């Protein structure tokens, strides 16, 4: 008799368990975490009949391979990649039946960065603070996958989606990040703010789940020194001493002392999660500058 679990055959560069995260714990120093491309995570769960809160696997660039110990419906979304079951091609972005003992492989990403693997019943890892998400900053949740890791599967919740596939536009050739100015935009000169709005930036290979780092021109500072540590929201554009903006993603620190020149609304962050190193980045202002008074309280 087979058990409801999977074993990792090839873990890939950084494959981890993710769900919708653990919001509401910033006062404990715990970021929200959760799937960086939440729409892709939701699509994968929908395709296999799971609630959107079910845990999936999030891969990074190189994909992964797992052996199913029980017959299971699976789906792969997010970054486009070749999907194979025991070496035979299978569809991406559609529900796939995988027999017990078969190996499901999501290959290296061909477009984008992060793929999502959903399994009927979800991944039944032990929840921490109400979430099964792996948090690279705080260390909460399951460790990133290694070869040989065994993960339990939950009980299927319902039938797969009626649709055979779900359309997905895929990553754009240029990452456009609209942002609300402030709260510390006054720490930068007018020239520095023009650089942010007009400069030619690229996604740095040093980016990770904590933040999307950029390469390009430095933002000129109007003030020296650093701030006392203050709260950092998801989507903050923090500018460290090198002058290059860092976009805080789901595993970001909850406090920091470098000035935040703007905040990118959450709805734009999924695109950032799929922007490969070298992708051009453009910052677009959404509103007027909000000074420190708007930040206080």
CA distance 275 to 297: 34
- Tell me, what's the pLDDT at 56? 98
Q: Cβ neighbours of residue 121 under 8 Å, at least 6 residues apart?
A: 4, 50, 54, 72, 153, 154, 155, 156, 157
- Tell me, what's the pLDDT at 297? 27
pLDDT band at 290 (very low <50, low <70, confident <90, very high): very low
The string of pLDDT tens digits covering residues 57-103 is: 999 999 999 999 999 999 999 999 999 999 999 999 999 999 999 99
Handedness of CA 105, 163, 41, 274 (dihedral sign): positive
Could you tell me if residue 206 is inside a domain? yes
Residue 292 has pLDDT above 90, yes or no: no
Residue 8 has pLDDT above 60, yes or no: yes
Do 41 and 141 belong together in one domain?
yes
- Tell me, what's the pLDDT at 187? 97
b/e sequence 109-120, b meaning 16+ C-beta within 10 Å: beebbbbbbbbb
Do 145 and 194 belong together in one domain?
no
- Tell me, what's the pLDDT at 168? 65
Do 141 and 179 belong together in one domain?
no
Do 187 and 283 belong together in one domain?
yes
Number of folded domains that form the chain? 2
- Tell me, what's the pLDDT at 1? 38
DSSP code of residue 266: G
Could you tell me if residue 170 is inside a domain? no
The string of pLDDT tens digits covering residues 164-198 is: 556 666 677 899 999 999 899 999 999 999 999 99
Neighbours of 147 (CB within 10 A): 12
Provide the residue range defining the domain that includes 65: 5-152
- Tell me, what's the pLDDT at 157? 82
Do 221 and 263 belong together in one domain?
yes
Q: Cβ neighbours of residue 143 under 8 Å, at least 6 residues apart?
A: 134, 149
Rg of the Cα atoms in the chain: 20
Do 186 and 136 belong together in one domain?
no
Could you give the dihedral angle defined by the CA atoms of residues 129, 131, 132 and 134, in that order, rounded to the nearest 10 degrees?
-80
Q: Average pLDDT, stretch 281-289?
A: 82
User: Percent of the chain scored above 70 by pLDDT?
Assistant: 92
Q: Average pLDDT, stretch 123-148?
A: 96
pLDDT band at 35 (very low <50, low <70, confident <90, very high): very high
Residue 153 has pLDDT above 50, yes or no: yes
- Tell me, what's the pLDDT at 50? 96
Residue 295 has pLDDT above 60, yes or no: no
Could you tell me if residue 140 is inside a domain? yes
Do 140 and 14 belong together in one domain?
yes
Residue 162 has pLDDT above 90, yes or no: no
| Angle ∠(138,107,58) on CA atoms, nearest 5 | 25
Residue 2 has pLDDT above 90, yes or no: no
The string of pLDDT tens digits covering residues 220-277 is: 999 988 899 999 999 999 999 999 999 999 999 999 999 999 999 999 999 999 999 9
């Amino acid at each position: 008799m087979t058990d409801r679990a999977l074993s990792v055959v090839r873990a890939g560069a950084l494959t981890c368990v993710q769900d919708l995260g653990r919001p509401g714990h910033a006062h404990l120093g715990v970021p929200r975490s959760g799937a960086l491309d939440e729409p892709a995570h939701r699509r994968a769960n929908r395709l296999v009949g799971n609630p959107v809160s079910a845990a999936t696997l999030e891969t990074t660039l190189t994909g992964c391979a797992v052996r199913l110990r029980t017959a299971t419906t699976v789906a792969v979304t997010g970054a486009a990649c070749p999907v194979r079951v025991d070496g035979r091609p299978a569809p991406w972005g559609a529900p796939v039946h995988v027999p017990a003992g078969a190996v499901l492989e999501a290959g290296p990403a061909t477009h984008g960065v992060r793929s999502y693997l959903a399994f009927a019943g979800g991944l039944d890892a032990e929840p921490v603070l109400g979430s099964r998400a792996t948090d690279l900053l705080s260390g909460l949740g399951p460790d990133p996958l290694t070869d040989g890791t065994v993960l339990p599967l939950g009980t299927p919740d319902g039938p797969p989606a009626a649709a055979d596939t779900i359309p997905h536009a895929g990553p754009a050739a240029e990452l456009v990040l609209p942002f609300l100015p402030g709260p510390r935009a006054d720490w930068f000169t007018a020239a520095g703010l023009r650089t942010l709005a007009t400069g030619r930036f690229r996604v740095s290979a040093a980016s990770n789940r904590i933040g999307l780092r950029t390469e390009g021109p430095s933002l000129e500072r109007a003030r020296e020194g650093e701030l006392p540590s203050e709260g950092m929201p998801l989507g903050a554009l923090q500018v460290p001493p090198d002058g290059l903006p860092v976009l805080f993603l789901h595993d970001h620190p909850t406090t920091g002392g470098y000035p935040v020149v703007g905040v990118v609304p959450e709805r734009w962050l999924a695109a950032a999660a799929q922007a490969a190193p070298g992708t051009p980045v453009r910052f677009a202002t959404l509103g007027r500058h909000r000074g420190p008074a708007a930040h206080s309280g």
